[in-house]
Amino acid sequence: MADQPDNPQDNNSEEEVNPLSVANRHQEKPTGPLDEDPTTHRSPAEDVAAEEDEPFIDGFGWNTVIGALFIGIIMMPGAIYLSLVAGQGIGPAAEWVTIILFMEVARRSYQTLKKQELYLLYYIGGALTANFAGIALAGGIFSVLVWNNYVLHTPLAQAFGITQNVPNWVVPQMGSDALIQRTFMHPDWLPAIGLLLFVYIFGRFQYFGLGYVMFRLTSDTERLPFPLAPIAAEGATALAESSAQHEGWRWRIFSIGAMIGVGWGTIYVLIPTITGLIFAQPIVIVSNPWIDLTANTQKILPAAQAAIGTDLGTVLVGFVLPFPVVVGTFISSVLAYLVANPILYHMGILNHWTQGIDLTQTQLVNYFDFWLSFGSIGSSFAVAFIGIISVVRALMGKKTELSSTTTRRKTLPVGRGDIPIWSALLVWFFGCTGFIAITHYLIPGFPVWILCAFGYVWTPLYSYINARMAGLAGTHISIPYLKEASFMMTGYQKVDIWFAPIPLADYGTMAQQFRTVELTRTKFTSIIKVELLMIPIMFICSFLFWSFIWKLAPIPSATYPYAAKMWPVAGQSQVLWYTANRQGEGNVLLSAVNLNYILAGAGTSFALYGLVWLAGLPILLFYGLVNGLIAQPFAAIPMFIGAMLGKYYFAKRYGAENWRAYAPVLVAGYYCGMGLIGMGAVAIALLSKSISALPF
C-alpha cells in the first residue's frame, strides 16, 4: 500500500494540480524549471498519465546493433576495471553515456531517436555491464571464473581440502599452466567455459519465460504499481524529448539530477582515481563507500556497526521508495546494529567481536554470532510465510492488505507484443529441464527429486512472491539458505554441489523489467531481439577483456585496491559456506546456526506484523522493519533522510502528485551524471595501466 498524499488534488483543476500556482497565486504565471510544460499546458502528473495511451513501437534496429557493439567493446573493460578498483558498477555510465552519444550523433545528422530506441540502449548497457559474481564484479560471465578461481585458491580453501577436490568444470586443477600464466586461452578452461555458456543461455530461457508470466499476474491482473519501474522509463523519455528538441519538464529535471551526479562523482570517483595514478596514495575527500566509525564508538558502543554512508544516490533513492518501507528500514536498522549490538555483546552473544577490528570484520563476526540466525533465517522465514499466505489469498480472489486498489486489466494493450502464457511457460520449462539434466549429469549422486522440486515447484512460487513485493514496495524477500539446508539434509558431502547449476532462482524481478518496458511503450518483442544480439557480444567481449585485465596483474592485488581490501573477507565467508554440508567438527557454518535465535527472530517478526496490523499502520511498514535487519545503518540513514526531504519538503513545495512524477527523473539524471564522471575516470585509469604494462 503506497503512501498517500496528505491533500489529494483534483486533476480537473490546473491550479490545484500544480501547487506552484497556489504558492504564487499573486503572480500572473508561475515560473521556474519545475513548472507545467508551457507547450502542452499539462501538469507533469497529467503528462505521465497521458503517455499510457501512446502506441507501442519496436525500438530494435541498426542503432541498437551499433550501440550493443559500442557498449561491449568500449564500456565493458571500464566496468571490469571500476569494479576491481572502486567496487563501483559502471552500469549508469554504460547506459547513459551510450544514450547521450547516440543522441548527439543523431541530432547532428538531423535525425531524432525515439524513446523506445533510447530505452533499448539503456537496457543493453545495464545487461552487458551487470554484476555476475563476487563483490560488485562486473564484465560478463567470465567474472564468475575469476571469482571462483580466487576463492578456491585461498589459503582457507586449501586448509579445508576444498581446492584439491574441485572438479575441472569449475576451475582447472592446481598447477595448471592456465592458472600460472593467468589466461583463459588454454584448453584446461574449456569444461568450465562450456558449462558457463550453457548455464547463461538456459538461464535466460527461464528468466524471460517465467518472468513474463509473473508480469502478467502482478501487473495486468493485480495492477500493482511497481514504484521503481519508472526510473529508467522516465530517463529515456527525458532524453527523447531533448533529441526531438522539445525540452519539456523531464529534460529540465533530468539535467538538474545530472549536474548533481557530475558534482558528486568528481569528488567521489574522479579525484581519487586521477590522484592515485599520480601519487603514491590517492587523495580521498570522501571515503568510499562509507566513513568507518567503529574505532571511534567501540568503547561506548562495543560491536556497533557504526559508519556514515557516502553514496549520495542512496539519498535520492529515498525519494522514490514507498515512505513506510524507508521508515521501517531506518528504525529497525538503527535499533538492531547500533542499539542492540552493544547489548548483545554485554550479554555474551556477540562473543567473537574484539576491539580494534574495522566495520567489515565487525559485520562478519556479528553476522555469524547472531544475525545469521535471528535476521537472515528467523525473520525471513516469517516474512516468507506471511507472503505465501498473501499469495494464496490473492489466488483465491480475496482482498488482502497489499491488494491493488485498481481493477484487473480485462484486455491486453494492443500492439504490446504479448505472447500466450502457455508459450512463455513452455520456454521456462525447457530452460528448467535443461538445468536439471545438466546438474544430474555432473552430479549423479544428488537426488533428482530435490532438483525437480526446486525447479518446477519452489522457483515459480518464490518468483511470484517477489514479483508482488517488487510491485508493491520495490523490494524483495529471501527464503534463507533453502539450498544450503537441502545439501545438508541429503547427506551429500562433496564440494562440487556448490558449483552445480541448481534450478533455484528468483525470476520475479523480471516482472518489474517488463513493467518498465511497458512504460516506455516499447514492444516486448524488441527485448527478445536484443537478448539474442547480446549473447555473442557479451561472451566474446567478456572473454577478451577479462583475459587482458587478469594478465596485467594478479586479482586481487595492490593494482586493484577495492578487490585487495574486500575480497579476502568475502572469500573467507564463501569458503565457510562450502563446508556447510560436511559432517562433524569440520562444519564451521552449521555451528553458527542457533535454533533459539531463529525462533526468536521469527517470533519477533510475527509480533511486529501483528502490532502494525492492529495499529492500522501501512502494512509496508512491516516489510521495511524486516528489511532493516539486512540493511546496514550507513545505507538506511541516508535513505531515510531522502524520504523525509521528499515527503515533507519537496512534496509540499511542488505537490505530491507532481513530485511523484519528478523523483524518478531526478534519480535517473543523477546516475547519468555519476556515470559520465565514472566513465571518464575509468578511461584515464585504463589507459595509464595499459601503458605501464608495456615492455617499452
Among the residue ranges 120-134, 170-184, 484-498, the one predicted with the least confidence is: 120-134
Strands (E), 416-455: none
The residue with cell 493485480 is 222
β-strand partners of 131: 138
Mean pLDDT of 522-526: 89
pLDDT tens, position by position, 357-401: 888 789 878 888 898 888 877 887 787 777 667 666 665 655 544
Calculate the alpha carbon distances from 411 to 225, 323, 415, 418, 617 in Å.
18, 32, 12, 11, 34
Q: Using DSSP, state whether 522 is helix, strand or coil.
A: strand
Alpha-carbon distance of 283 to 312, in angstroms, equals: 19
pLDDT tens, position by position, 252-278: 888 898 899 889 989 887 888 788 778
Mean pLDDT of 565-572: 78
Alpha-carbon distance of 619 to 610, in angstroms, equals: 10
pLDDT tens, position by position, 288-327: 778 889 888 988 999 999 998 888 888 998 998 889 989 9
The β-bridge relationship of strands 137-138 and 131-133 is antiparallel
Among the residue ranges 91-105, 374-388, 426-440, 665-679, the one predicted with the least confidence is: 91-105
Q: Which amino acid is at 104?
A: E
Mean pLDDT of 188-195: 90
Q: Which amino acid is at 64?
A: T
Among the residue ranges 12-26, 187-201, 451-465, 469-483, the one predicted with the least confidence is: 12-26
Alpha-carbon distance of 160 to 588, in angstroms, equals: 10
pLDDT band at 445 (very low <50, low <70, confident <90, very high): confident
Out of 94-108, 622-636, 657-671, the most confident range is: 622-636
pLDDT tens, position by position, 214-267: 998 888 877 777 877 777 666 666 666 665 555 667 778 888 988 998 899 898
pLDDT band at 519 (very low <50, low <70, confident <90, very high): confident
Alpha-carbon distance of 30 to 36, in angstroms, equals: 9
